[in-house]
Structure 1
Amino acid sequence: MTKATMGDRATLRLAMAQMCSSNTHARNIEIVTGLAAEAHAAGAELLALPEASGMVNKDVASARLSVTDEARDPFIAACRELAAKYGLWIHTGSTPLAGADGGRFSNTSHLIDGSGAIVSRYDKIHLFDVDLPGEVSRRESDRYAPGGEAVLAETPWGPFGMSVCYDVRFPHLYRDYAHAGATILFIPSAFAISTGEAHWPTLLRARAIENGCYVVAAAQCGHHDDGRETWGQSMIVDPWGTIVADMDKRIGLAVADLDLSKVEATRRSIPSLANERDYRFEPAAMRRGRQTA
């Protein structure tokens, strides 16, 4: 990944949405239409949506009746129209799209500019295949194919690093984004209740602090039509680790003005990116060292 050029805009008024998405495109388009109008009225330049904003439906058979490719997807089309209508950049969070891998979907995020053009696409790389104590095993890979490419989007506010939900547990992805000059890391999510309560704020603050970036994490929240429940607590965290916005369980928008000069200032104060050193890692030698110490 090559280092991207810094943007020429020093501030960004960002609207972050917390949603309880439905299992139909139509209902979610209705919700996002209202959110975009509200964001525009608040003077926002960018609207950030959560993971699965286009559809939350764990029933693969019924989802397959609605999920289609990017060119025909009604949710993406609606977001593009809203972006052009309001001159508003929209980060779609993600929505399921038809994939080519054995019939599995892709969990795909789009960044759309104020003219309605798609600036970048990102397929979720790390899939939520976990066994939580006392809970049913989750296998996201049964329904979704993993992406294989990190995506850094060029914007007037500098480079934006794209990711989705479970990616947050893989810090090397965000380190690569930071080395490439990212100013904002997007982590749209639909976090489980138990892991949200235990880990969500800590992971977000860690990604912001260790990389000197803003983190924008729009989330799903509440009881969904398909029977699942999500944690919520959409957050914006600044490069120092300060929580700029925390929506807790509130559905709707949070609007914040991001001072992007804090990215460079923080990286000057704690230059951990520059201070990194190469080192050898030889596990066998390390074990021998412990045995003879």
Structure 2
Amino acid sequence: MAEAGFESLEQCLEKHLPLAELQEVKRILYGKETRKLDLPGVALEAASRGDFELQGYAFEAATEQQRKPRTVRVGLVQNRTPLPADTPVVKQVAALHRRMEAVVEVAATCGVNIICFQEAWTMPFAFCTREKLPWTEFAESAEDGPTTKFCQELARKHEMVVVSPILERDAAHGDVLWNTAVVVASSGAVLGKTRKNHIPRVGDFNESTYYMEGNLGHPVFQTQFGRIAVNICYGRHHPLNWLMYSINGAEIIFNPSATIGALSESLWPIEARNAAIANHCFTCAINRVGQEHFPNEFTSGDGKKAHRDFGYFYGSSYVAAPDGSRTPGLSRTRDGLLVAELDLNLCRQVNDVWGFKMTGRYEMYARELAEAVKPDYTPKIVKE
């Protein structure tokens, strides 16, 4: 299928456009050009052996007199599930742990300080099926489950913050399931967790069969390398969700996702980038790749034939900056690691130029939204 075989927008542009036109197109598409990082040869060789793409770019800020550069390197990981969905649960999780261990080794060689995996990274994205077993068996404790312990080992070994989105089993509250991201500090301590605030009910994305909207609000985590937040997947469609992480002080907002081409690919390059601009912060959009086939057929409730797969997850992970610039995306078809060097000083510098935080009428919005959610609300429409 063309959807699966089309490698990337960047590759297509570079293949068909003369250099001068290519530079203009990239300026319009991506804003200020990001500097390509000179990544270690040993890392590039390891990525080649491991069959995953490795790219690196840097965002730069102006030199200030009273603040030193606040440079941090983030790593975004996109991958396919290495084993078929009908493989025993323990084997699937173990294979994904091994895969991430190899990718994180390369990230460490590249100087990554904070790494984020894709949504529900330890399992196939089986929520389309609406079956309980075996998919609920992938759920783990966020505090001391095997995946969190695995990430703690990675964090301690590499002195790296690890953001690990998992299916959480909340034993303290009646074994409730949540779509959760665990944040492990560079010391190896569990810094905290955040939960997916918005649950889709779109086509095959019937995720409320498994978990409901998160109840932890919009926490921001102070790490050794900066303040981070995690806006899980469908939350990227909700501008106020990004806003609240920013209001709470996030300098980098990760968006681990699982989304398919037919549904959302035209939205993908816009939403996280727009959020970076609107909220004076860096955003990191992460999507898985490949196609996952399930043992039993399921339907979308749209009159179409029953099927055993979602379609293709299109990868294309990227980082966007508060000035509107962004990196090229990773491949649409291959596993990949994107390394981005950020100067967090850019957040305040852009804020000082555009002043969205200063000119935002938050008190007006809050007052009008408080009225709008009341059952007897009447929209303020002026008529002749």
Q: Same fold (TM over 0.5)?
A: yes
* CA 225–103 in structure 1, closer or farther in 2 if over 3 Å, else same: farther
Q: Among 214, 221, 225, which residue is 1:157 paired with?
A: 225
Letter in 2 for 1:153: F
Please name the residue that 1:28 is paired with: 96
User: Take 1:153 and 1:220, find their aligned partners in 2: how far apart are those partners?
Assistant: 24
1:70 Cα deviation from its structure 2 partner: 2.9
Q: Is residue 133 of structure 2 the alignment partner of residue 61 of structure 1?
A: yes
Please name the residue that 1:117 is paired with: 189
1:284 Cα deviation from its structure 2 partner: 4.1
Q: Among 139, 160, 163, which residue is 2:206 paired with?
A: 139
Q: Among 251, 260, 279, which residue is 2:335 paired with?
A: 251
Q: Is residue 103 of structure 2 the alignment partner of residue 43 of structure 1?
A: no
* CA 262–130 in structure 1, closer or farther in 2 if over 3 Å, else same: same
Say which SS state the counterpart of residue 65 (structure 1) adopts. helix
Q: Among 149, 163, 168, which residue is 1:91 paired with?
A: 163
Please name the residue that 1:77 is paired with: 149
* CA 158–8 in structure 1, closer or farther in 2 if over 3 Å, else same: farther
Aligned 1:204-219 pairs, distance under 5 A:
204-219=272-287
* CA 8–70 in structure 1, closer or farther in 2 if over 3 Å, else same: farther
Q: Is residue 380 of structure 2 the alignment partner of residue 286 of structure 1?
A: yes
Say which SS state the counterpart of residue 95 (structure 1) adopts. strand
Q: Is residue 346 of structure 2 the alignment partner of residue 274 of structure 1?
A: no
User: Take 1:231 and 1:276, find their aligned partners in 2: how far apart are those partners?
Assistant: 35
Q: Among 52, 77, 98, which residue is 1:17 paired with?
A: 77
Please name the residue that 1:199 is paired with: 267
Letter in 1 for 2:268: W
Letter in 2 for 1:235: Y
Letter in 2 for 1:241: G
Q: What do residues 233-265 of structure 1 show as CA deviations (whole Å, max 9, x unaligned)?
A: 111001112112411323121112111111011
Q: What do residues 55-111 of structure 1 show as CA deviations (whole Å, max 9, x unaligned)?
A: 22515301233423235522221111111111111111x111224677652111011
Q: Is residue 232 of structure 2 the alignment partner of residue 168 of structure 1?
A: no
User: Take 2:256 and 2:190, find their aligned partners in 1: how far apart are those partners?
Assistant: 18
Letter in 2 for 1:286: K
Letter in 2 for 1:41: T
1:198 Cα deviation from its structure 2 partner: 2.1
Contact 1:161 1:174 in 2 (8 A): no
Contact 1:186 1:217 in 2 (8 A): yes
Contact 2:140 2:166 in 1 (8 A): no
Say which SS state the counterpart of residue 159 (structure 1) adopts. strand
Moved more, 45-54 or 22-31: 22-31
* CA 57–171 in structure 1, closer or farther in 2 if over 3 Å, else same: closer
Identity in percent: 24
Please name the residue that 1:127 is paired with: 199
Contact 2:260 2:313 in 1 (8 A): yes
1:168 Cα deviation from its structure 2 partner: 0.6
Say which SS state the counterpart of residue 182 (structure 1) adopts. coil
Please name the residue that 2:19 is paired with: none
Moved more, 83-92 or 65-74: 65-74
Contact 1:153 1:162 in 2 (8 A): no
Q: Is residue 347 of structure 2 the alignment partner of residue 263 of structure 1?
A: yes
Moved more, 274-283 or 103-112: 274-283
Q: Among 231, 234, 239, which residue is 2:314 paired with?
A: 231
Paired residues, what number? 278
Scaled by the length of structure 1, the TM-score of the pair is: 0.87
1:196 Cα deviation from its structure 2 partner: 2.8
Unaligned runs of 5+ in 1: 1-6, 132-136
Scaled by the length of structure 2, the TM-score of the pair is: 0.67
Moved more, 62-71 or 103-112: 62-71
Say which SS state the counterpart of residue 44 (structure 1) adopts. coil
* CA 262–9 in structure 1, closer or farther in 2 if over 3 Å, else same: closer
Q: What do residues 116-170 of structure 1 show as CA deviations (whole Å, max 9, x unaligned)?
A: 1111201111111124xxxxx4321111132112111112333212210001111
1:174 Cα deviation from its structure 2 partner: 1.7
Please name the residue that 1:190 is paired with: 258
Larger radius of gyration: 2
Unaligned runs of 5+ in 2: 1-66, 86-91, 295-308, 372-376
